[in-house]
Amino acid sequence: MSSENVNKSSIVTVNNVAKRTVSTSNRVNIDILKNRIYKQERKEKFQTKIILLAFCGILCFLGYVISL
């Protein structure tokens, strides 16, 4: 029985140490977050430009077809 208690306490200690290491490494690098936001904004701007260009192209094509 006493060996079971020792084994349980050693497991709990190992789990506690593992939890402490994970909790202390929860630091956030602001530069990485800023970079992600910058990339996402660039992607959104690019998509907006593509949609606008496609709309203008379709409008020009329809104007050309109608003028014939």
DSSP states along 8-63: HHHHHHHHHHHHHHHHHT----HHHHHHHHHHHHHHHHHHHHHHHHHHHHHHHHHH
> Which stretches of the chain score pLDDT less than 50?
none
pLDDT for position 24:
61
pLDDT for position 42:
97
The answer to whether the predicted template modeling score (pTM) of the entire model surpasses 0.75 is: no
- No. of H helices and E strands in the chain? 2, 0
pLDDT for position 68:
84
pLDDT digits (tens, 9 = 90+) for 19-33: 555 556 788 999 999
